[in-house]
Structure 1
Amino acid sequence: MSNLINQVENLVVAKFGGTSVADFEAMSRCADIVLANPNTRVVVVSASSGVTNLLVELTQANVNDERRLALLKDIAKVQYAIADSLDRPQEVTAQIDQVLSQMAVLSESLLLNRSKAIMDELLSTGEQCSSILFSAVIAQKDQPSQAFDVRQVLRTDSHFGKAEPQIEQIATLAKAKLLPLLSDNIIVTQGFIGADEQGKTTTLGRGGSDYSAALLAEALNAHAVEIWTDVAGIYTTDPRLAPNARPIAEISFNEAAEMATFGAKVLHPATILPAVRQRIQVFVGSSKAPEQGGTWIRHQIEDAPVYRAVALRRDQTLLNLHSLQMLHAQGFLAETFATLARHKISVDLITTSEVNVSLTLDKTGSDSSGQGLLSESLLQELSQHCRVRVEDKLALVAIIGNQIASTAGICSRVFQVLEPHNVRMICQGASPHNLCVLVSESEAADVVNALHQNLFE
Structure 2
Amino acid sequence: MSNTAIKNLNVAKFGGTSVANFAAMENCANIIKNNPNTKVVVVSASAGVTNLLVDIAYTAMSKQQIKQKLTEIDNIQQAILQALENPDEVEPKLQQLQSSLSDLALHEEMLHRADLKDALLSHGERMSSLFFSAVLNQFDVKAENFDVRKVLKTDSEFGQAVPNLEQIGVAAKQLMLPSLVDTVLVTQGFVGSDQQGNTTTLGRGGSDFTAALLAEGLGADTCEIWTDVIGVYTTDPRITDAARPLPELSFEEAAEMATFGAKVLHPATMEPALRQDIKVFVGSSKEPEKGGTWIVRDCTTEPSYRAITRRKEQVMVTVKTPKMMYAQGFLQKVFTIIAEHKLSVDLITTSEISVSFTLDNPANSVLKRLNQETIEELSQFCEVLVEENYDLVTVVGNNMHSAAGVSSKIFAAVADYNLRMICYGANPHNLSLLVNDSDSKDVVCALHRALFE
TM range (shorter): over 0.9
Partner of 1:34: 32
SS of 1:19 mapped into structure 2: coil
- What is the aligned partner in structure 1 of residue 55 from structure 2? 57
**Within 1, Cα distance between the matches of 2:243 and 2:193?**
40
Is the alpha carbon distance of 1:366 and 1:270 closer, same or farther for their aligned partners in structure 2, counting shifts above 3 Å? farther
Partner of 1:269: 267
Find the partner of 1:374 among 371, 374, 378. 371
What is the CA–CA distance in structure 1 between the aligned matches of 2:43 and 2:103, rounded to whole Å? 24
Letter in 2 for 1:388: V
Which residue does 2:382 correspond to in 1?
Answer: 386
Q: Deviations over 1:396-443 (max 9, x none)?
A: 111100000011112221121121111111111100000111111111
Which whole-Å CA distance do the structure 2 matches of 1:150 and 1:384 have between them? 43
Q: Deviations over 1:279-329 (max 9, x none)?
A: 111000001111111000001111110110111111110111222322254
Q: Over aligned residues, Cα RMSD in angstroms?
A: 1.8
* Amino acid paired to 2:452: F
Alignment-derived partner of residue 444 in structure 1: 440
Which residue of structure 1 lines up, in the alignment, with residue 42 of structure 2?
A: 44
More deviation, 136-145/334-343? 334-343
Identify unmatched segments of 5+ residues in structure 2: none
Asked if the contact 1:163/1:204 (under 8 Å) is kept, the reply is: yes
* Contact 1:206/1:365 (<8 A) preserved: no
**What SS does the aligned partner of 1:169 have?**
helix
- Match of 1:136? 134
Spell out the pairing of 1:300-315 with structure 2 (5 A cutoff). Answer: 300-315=298-313
Letter in 2 for 1:18: G
Q: Distance in 2 between matches of 1:312 and 1:450?
A: 13
Aligned length: 453
| Structure 1: 4+ residue segments shifted above 3 A | 110-114, 364-370, 377-381
**Does residue 452 of structure 2 align to residue 456 of structure 1?**
yes
Task: Note if contact 1:56-1:123 (Cα within 8 Å) is conserved in structure 2.
Answer: yes
SS at match of 1:143: coil
Does 2:289 align with 1:291? yes
Alpha-carbon distance in 2 for matches of 1:189, 1:374: 33
Per-residue deviation at 1:369? Answer: 9.5
Q: Deviations over 1:316-369 (max 9, x none)?
A: 101112223222541221111012223343211101122221101012465379
In the alignment, residue 412 of structure 2 is paired with which amino acid? Q
Alpha-carbon separation, structure 2, partners of 1:184 and 1:397: 46
Counterpart residue number, 2:423: 427
Q: For 1:119-177, what per-residue CA distance to the aligned partner results, in whole angstroms no more than 9, with x for missing partners? A: 21111111111111000000001121100011111111111111111000000001000
> Is this contact kept in 2: 1:59–1:110, CA < 8 A?
no
Q: Is 1:77 matched with 2:79?
A: no
- Cα 1:159–1:166 change in 2 (3 A) is same
Asked whether the 8 Å contact 1:320–1:358 carries over to 2, the reply is: yes
Aligned residue identity for 1:437: L
Aligned counterpart in structure 2 of residue 86 of structure 1, from 80, 84, 87 = 84
TM-score by length of 2: 0.96
**1-structure distance, mates of 2:192, 2:328:** 43
Report the counterpart of residue 106 of structure 1 in structure 2: 104
Q: 1:402 to 1:319 in 2, by over 3 A?
A: same
Where 2:208 maps in the other structure, the secondary structure is: helix
Letter in 2 for 1:190: Q
Counting only pairs closer than 5 Å after superposition, residues 226-241 of structure 1 correspond to structure 2 as 226-241=224-239
Query: Cα gap change, 1:102/1:174 in structure 2, threshold over 3 Å: closer, same or farther?
Result: same
| Alignment of 1:411 onto 2:407 | yes
Contact residue 110 and residue 118 of structure 1 kept, 8 A: no
* Structure 1 length-normalised TM: 0.95
Looking at structure 2, the residues matched to 206 and 200 of structure 1 have their Cα atoms a distance apart, in angstroms, of 18
Letter in 1 for 2:415: E
1:183 maps to 181
Partner Cα distance (2:363, 2:266) in 1: 11
Using the TM superposition, give the Cα deviation of residue 111 of structure 1 relative to its aligned residue in structure 2, in angstroms.
5.0
Is contact 1:363–1:373 with CA below 8 Å preserved after alignment?
no
User: Does the Cα contact within 8 Å between 1:336 and 1:382 map onto a contact in 2?
Assistant: yes
1:217-268 deviation line (CA, Å, top 9, x unaligned): 0000101110000000000011222221111000100000000001101001
Report if the CA contact (8 A) 2:4-2:173 is conserved. Answer: no
* Secondary structure of the corresponding residue to residue 84 of structure 1: helix
Conservation of the 8 A alpha-carbon contact between 1:425 and 1:439: yes
Shift of 1:380: 4.2
Shift in alpha-carbon separation, 1:113–1:247, aligned structure 2, 3 A: closer
Q: How high is the sequence identity, in percent, across the aligned residues?
A: 53
